[in-house]
Structure 1
């Protein structure tokens, strides 16, 4: 059995754009959760700073993660997200279960 691919993504909405980011992310999450190799796609906002977002993702394996990256919904989502966040793109941190 291959190891799952686990990561979290963080990003910050431009002031005044938090609700737009949340709506965009909620719509994207629905599609990602339907991908056959997705195990978890948990999108959240920080309670103390609602312009900060934290997304926890788990994919069955690296192949499933690569399929997620190649999915057609990713390109328009990331293009729209880039226009609404402070960072040039979401900050990804890959994790390994212990």
Structure 2
């Protein structure tokens, strides 16, 4: 079963350009992961400091591989001081049968 989630965080005042650059560079790496299906980065239209990332992985194993990628911890170490939250807020999603 696919692993789908929404990651959200808010850049601190004045840090939005740096956060956008960091997440853009990180996205390029994540999209190359074997089990990554989607890693789409958005800024909220009404608030350019609010970032939303829609992520889809092939399965739980692919998601765990993503979490353990060697570039993840260094990315988070640089990101956390630039955002208002203590870390990205993750919301896991389940598809609806339609």
User: Fold-level match, TM-score > 0.5?
Assistant: yes
Corresponding position of 2:86 = 88
Say yes or no: does 1:59 pair with 2:94.
Answer: no
**Structure 2 gaps, min length 5:** none
Give the match for residue 79 of structure 1: 77
TM-score in terms of structure 1 length: 0.97
SS in structure 1 at match of 2:62: helix
Q: Which runs of 5+ in 1 are unaligned?
A: none
Structure-2-length-normalised TM-score: 0.97
User: How far is 1:90 from its partner?
Assistant: 0.5
Aligned residues: 96
For the residue of structure 1 that corresponds to 2:61, the secondary structure is: helix
Aligned to 1:48: 46
SS of equivalent residue, structure 1 residue 83: helix
The Cα offsets for residues 64-91 of structure 1, whole Å up to 9 and x where unpaired, read as 0000000001001111110100000010
RMSD, aligned CA: 0.4
Give the ranges of 4+ consecutive aligned residues of structure 1 lying more than 3 Å apart after TM superposition.
Answer: none
Higher strand share: 2
